[in-house]
């Protein structure tokens, strides 16, 4: 078994706090992880928050297992400037980026089982010369893949996948295409089999318009873009159905009928998931050659350093990454999750 690699995220955000809390409240079921971070800043943060978290500097991921029961394993990544909660500094952007790069390198080298990323602050990274829209695109570049990865948000009662993600609603309507729906759903189905052990995933495909367009009277996107995508998916052997009216897709009875919902835009997917389980939601990147999860929240500068941040979503992300890594060999047998 390999440990999980956790990145520092934005040093001025809540990533350090929830990492410390996660280790301090560990039990025997908590997966072993190490964090690529500045050891001194974690020690200072633990002291400020009154958390009894010894920090142990390690030289390689494998050393995590020996020290994890008694100390938080840290692979050191020095910051260029002091990390002040709630006050991001572009000088620390290169260290944030390097932590991600090193975590990916550990997974690619077979030294870590998966990556769990703490939240980053894109504006600060941009000011430091970061040229990618976000984590997902950067991870794809590091993996050397051309097909854009897919973002899935998951909690125990729901998995959702948006076809268009971090664009305006107006741009989402313009860019939504049959080809994008097929590609997103195909990657989702393959990943549910490989990483979640579901032999034949069933995908519900949401409509875009009220009442899923009501036969074209409220919009023709369902007829011209979404229905053809579903037909193509079924031709390829994917168990997909729809378009389902969005207002009926997420009620309890409907959720029992599918393994994931493919949604047309960001908020159509994220609003129901966060309403169901804002603390237990996990961001999973599908389509990468390695496993990556993340808490389903941001840097929370407004509460950084106050001790109020909850580690629940990070714990869920750690557990899901461990489960996905452990399940991969079994997926070849077609065993159901």
Determine the pLDDT at residue 296: 87
Q: Which two tokens stand for residue 171?
A: 């741009």
> CA 139, CA 130: separation in Å to the nearest integer?
13
- Say how many Å lie between the first and final Cα of the chain, rounded: 20
Q: Which two tokens stand for residue 168?
A: 């305006």
Determine the pLDDT at residue 135: 84
Q: In 3D, which of 307, 318, 324 has the Cα closest to residue 6?
A: 318
E-strand spans in the chain?
A: 4-7, 33-37, 55-57, 72-76, 115-116, 150-155, 158-162, 202-206, 239-244, 260-263, 282-286, 292-295
Q: Is residue 333 over pLDDT 80?
A: no
Determine the pLDDT at residue 329: 56
The pTM is what? Answer: 0.90
Q: Which domains does the chain have, with CATH numbers?
A: 1-147 (3.40.718.10), 150-287 (3.40.718.10)
> CA 16, CA 19: separation in Å to the nearest integer?
5
The backbone torsions φ and ψ at residue 280, rounded to the nearest 5 degrees and listed phi first, read -105, 5
Average pLDDT, the chain: 93
> CA 43, CA 152: separation in Å to the nearest integer?
33
The proportion of the chain whose per-residue pLDDT surpasses 70, expressed as a percent, equals 97
Q: In 3D, which of 267, 291, 271, 289 has the Cα closest to residue 281?
A: 271
**Greater model confidence, 303 or 166:** 303
Determine the pLDDT at residue 132: 84
Condensed to tens digits (0 to 9), the pLDDT of residues 163-202 reads: 998 889 999 999 999 999 999 999 999 999 999 999 999 9
Q: Which long-range contacts (CB under 8 A, 24 or more apart) does 214-222 make?
A: 221/173, 221/176, 221/264
Determine the pLDDT at residue 317: 96
b/e map of 267-304 (b: 16 or more CB within 10 Å)? ebbbebbbebbeebbbbbbbbbebbbbbbbbebbbebb
Condensed to tens digits (0 to 9), the pLDDT of residues 217-259 reads: 999 999 999 999 999 999 999 999 999 999 999 999 999 999 9
């Amino acid at each position: 078994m390999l440990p999980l690699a956790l990145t520092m995220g934005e040093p001025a955000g809540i990533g350090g706090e929830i990492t410390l809390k996660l280790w301090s409240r560990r039990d025997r079921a908590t997966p072993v992880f190490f964090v690529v971070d500045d050891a001194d800043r974690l020690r200072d943060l633990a002291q400020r928050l009154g958390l009894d978290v010894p920090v142990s500097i390690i030289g390689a991921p494998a050393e995590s297992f020996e020290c994890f029961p008694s100390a938080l394993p840290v692979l050191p990544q020095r910051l260029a400037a002091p990390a002040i909660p709630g006050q991001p500094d572009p000088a620390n952007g290169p260290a944030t980026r390097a932590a991600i790069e090193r975590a990916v390198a550990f997974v690619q080298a077979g030294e870590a089982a998966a990556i769990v990323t703490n939240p980053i602050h894109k504006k600060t990274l941009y000011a430091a010369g970061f040229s990618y829209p976000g984590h997902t695109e950067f991870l794809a570049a590091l993996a050397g893949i051309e097909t854009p990865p897919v973002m899935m948000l998951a909690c125990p009662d729901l998995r959702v996948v948006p076809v268009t993600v971090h664009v305006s609603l107006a741009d989402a309507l313009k860019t939504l295409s049959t080809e994008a729906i097929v590609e997103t759903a195909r990657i989702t189905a393959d990943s549910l089999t490989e990483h979640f052990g579901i032999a034949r995933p069933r995908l519900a495909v949401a409509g875009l318009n009220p009442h899923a367009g009501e036969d074209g009277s409220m919009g023709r996107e369902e007829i011209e873009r979404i229905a053809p995508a579903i037909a193509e998916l079924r031709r390829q052997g994917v168990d997909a159905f729809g378009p389902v009216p969005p207002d009926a897709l997420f009620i309890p009875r409907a959720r029992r009928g599918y393994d994931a919902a493919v949604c047309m835009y960001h908020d159509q997917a994220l609003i129901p998931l966060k309403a169901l389980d804002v603390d237990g939601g996990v961001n999973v990147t599908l389509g990468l050659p390695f496993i990556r999860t993340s808490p389903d929240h941001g840097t929370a500068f407004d509460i950084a350093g106050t001790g109020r941040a909850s580690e629940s979503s990070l714990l869920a992300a750690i557990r899901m990454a461990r489960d996905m890594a452990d399940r991969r060999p079994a997926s070849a047998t077609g065993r159901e999750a």
